[in-house]
Structure 1
């Protein structure tokens, strides 16, 4: 007996999380991932707020903690690497700039996929190019030419989701809000000088660099800058590397080492931070979740947690309601306020952490020093801790 067949597109975080809960309420689930295998690698993500309760209900909190990066807190530094201020992970709440549950994106994807076990079918190396739905189901056409039919389709892809563009068209097309900030991500060799702190340096010119530990024996790096160079993400890799040297080559501390290392890494990735705001998250029997529906961007700091919560709430809604339309409406009604709150960035963000002038950098550093003092720690520890902390997850009847 099964409630029906569901295709989930996207094998990163939202996809496996949603697949897990859909099997718990009785669906036969297939996850489609366009890459040729599991999506390994990726940068630091964290789990906060109600998402931790989702992990508890999955029995995965200890597994995520064991696979964590080992990051102990956030340290703001100056151009010489000297400490400006520190924010250790809050021992009571587990939150702050560094959360207790810090983990690499690929590691979390692995933990979630393993939790699904053989109840979920995994389908790699293909992608959706056409959807034709009626009152009874959805015919899915793949790039390989294969045609399959499902009762429901869940689009759990990234912010630039191709499948979403097949569903949300015309007045339903998403609004894409650029934040005017780029991030270049990469993994570089670890050195004896690297420690278990997230080290963050902001400098004039609306630029910043971060070094973060991982559990792989390497160091994760982020180079951030503000600007309107919208075509940078589409440049060939060699031109991106040259562009990073042009933007950051005048800096000291660990920057020369980082730029040299990025010449050799194979995972350099540049993102033009863009929030996704969809007027609706479903059309017929197709529904969106995760970044495809509501990308927060790393600046918002709650995207991974929303992906975990969203998969749970979607499954709970489908288990309770009598039709997909009613379930999707209930899912959106529950999730929308939390997403809206997370996308509502504080005034000045992300510019405040990437000041243009020397005076602005000095004021930013002074602000972190104030925030790190004991009287203000209680407030600072809640940075990025998620919205609506007193809200409870809906009940999920198992099948």
Structure 2
């Protein structure tokens, strides 16, 4: 298996509206009736079943694809990632492989998708300047909108990996303490929100005590997923003074079922925004890892926002370097997210807190209803695309969740 060329055409019939063409080739974990979950690659309206195909080909690593998680493949490292991608690209773009491959193409409509990897740790950053400034205006109106350290380092918090769920999983409205008429009261969140984000998945672990330098980003990070970090703003607003988010965030974080490899994002790489002041030496860019990704937020069928990832102040390479700067180790399956992606314009905001301007400007949906925050039964989908080869755009998938009522308490 050789390193992957840029895939352009495929002998597989791929509809223009398909979520993934032959340029993306993301990995996920799927199952069919009566069979165990295993690793597949999405192409067009199909899932390529890698385990039996690799076995037929006699590949040394065939067993990695018969697992109910991507973790064993992620741990194999960047050389294996490149080799497998090269093999898959060849299979789906060269007609000579049609007879071999077709028996292992499963209709995507007939498979069930699972959480693609076992999440070891979850960290969420705060890398959008527009979002951080808006949040400052809402939560700290008498202080500067940006925290003092914000321009010097990627601010983040350590989340809860056990509540990371795959797209399509219902999200139960959380309960907690929030202020009602200035009195703390326990009950269901009344200001339930979303955060449209991009997450990065660690493959190769690092050793405790050894920071990961910015240039080593692609040796450790396998790929990306889309993230919706559901947020209970009233619970968060009461508890996060002065410590960071806890129950307002830890109840659910949804991710897309397909992990897009970094190799598919080569044409999306751009220089990040100009940083002022210049970052500390350990955070300086070795090569551009800004990403020109375009997100789309849909609320009950109405597209309400188009957040631009290109505006993110801190890159994923800098975030990984900062995460490990104190010697903290990363493990296979670690997930770290960008933080809410928001742009400076009103239709580029990646949270409903911002879209409704802290509840003062209701958002009108196509059915004539209005919203400020999420109601029970609401469905939110976050999608994204990126530049591909030859001026094309590639799909990066979607993450969807539906809100269900809070459970009753005695």
Q: Which is bigger in relative contact order (C-alpha 8 A, separation at least 6)?
A: 1
TM-score bin (small chain)? under 0.3
Q: Name the structure where helix makes up a greater proportion of residues.
A: 1
Task: Tell me the TM-score normalised to structure 2 length.
Answer: 0.24
